């Protein structure tokens, strides 16, 4: 099974709608590790790593997010060089 790691930025109405908590629940359910956090510019940023199919499922999930979110754009980028994550956490 191939592993995958991606860095994403989610735009739209994604803060104040439980996006981070919902993202964490979804990631844990799929066995994806990494983190999610709010950014100063009202976007949400995340790093996902794990089995390629599970990471791809997380990216697809980000295109709609939780029920109250209104996602307008999802940027998928190469991840920054960083240590491998354990578990999935919500950052500040």
Tell me the catalytic residues.
Answer: 20, 38
Q: Contacts for 57-63 with beta carbons within 8 Å, 24 or more apart?
A: 57/30, 58/23, 58/26, 58/27, 58/30, 58/32, 59/6, 59/8, 61/23, 61/26, 62/8, 62/10, 62/23
């Amino acid at each position: 099974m191939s592993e995958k790691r991606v860095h994403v930025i989610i735009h739209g109405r994604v803060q104040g709608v439980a996006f981070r908590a919902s993202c964490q629940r979804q990631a844990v359910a799929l066995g994806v590790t990494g983190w999610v956090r709010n950014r100063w510019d009202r976007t949400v940023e995340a790093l996902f790593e794990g089995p390629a199919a599970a990471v791809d499922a997380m990216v697809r999930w980000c295109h709609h997010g939780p029920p109250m979110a209104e996602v307008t754009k999802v940027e998928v980028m190469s991840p920054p060089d960083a240590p491998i994550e354990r578990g999935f956490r919500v950052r500040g």
